[in-house]
Amino acid sequence: MKKLVVIASLSASPAFAASGPFLSLYNTNFVVLLSFLAFIAVLVYLKVPGKVTAMLDARAAGIQKDLDEARALREEAQTVLASYERKQKEVQEQAERIVETARFEAEAAAAKAKEDLKLAIERRLAAADEQIESAKAGAVREVRDRAIAVAVAAARDVIEKQMTAEANDRLVDAAIGDVQAKLKLH
């Protein structure tokens, strides 16, 4: 079957469709050949292959230029990317240092605040102790003064009951004599 298809396709060639001698203007194959050769001659006369070659060369040069620019831009982008990555790393390190410094300062401030609070509490306790001691001393003084007043009043009552007018005159005379003697010494 394959052989039959190959034989049929070779026998139905367009070259066999034309009739008459080949070098005749009535033969379509000859006319097509002449037209094709004339077309090629016009293209060569107008230097179309050179122009097409020049255009292709120019396009190839443009493409090469675009590729070179793209390559340069890629390299520049990689350089910029590396620079930004380096800067990002530096900024990250700086941020870590800032956080560490802030943490250290916060801990130091907390320790200082704790110490200040401790000192303030100690001062307040000392002040409270002083107030307690002062109040205690005041209470003791008040009790002592009250006891002295009570003792003096009791002594006066006792002395008034036991003292006579004659003994009173004798004591006054003795006191006056003591004052005179002291005044003479000076």
Q: How far apart are the first and last CA of the chain?
A: 172
Q: How far apart are CA 178 and CA 159, in angstroms?
A: 21
Question: Per-residue pLDDT tens for 121-148?
Answer: 999 999 888 999 888 888 888 888 888 8
**Residue 122, CB-side half-sphere exposure with 13 Å CA sphere:** 6
- Token output for 128: 């409270």
Q: How far apart are CA 122 and CA 152, in angstroms?
A: 44
Q: How far apart are CA 38 and CA 45, in angstroms?
A: 10
- What pTM was computed for the model? 0.38
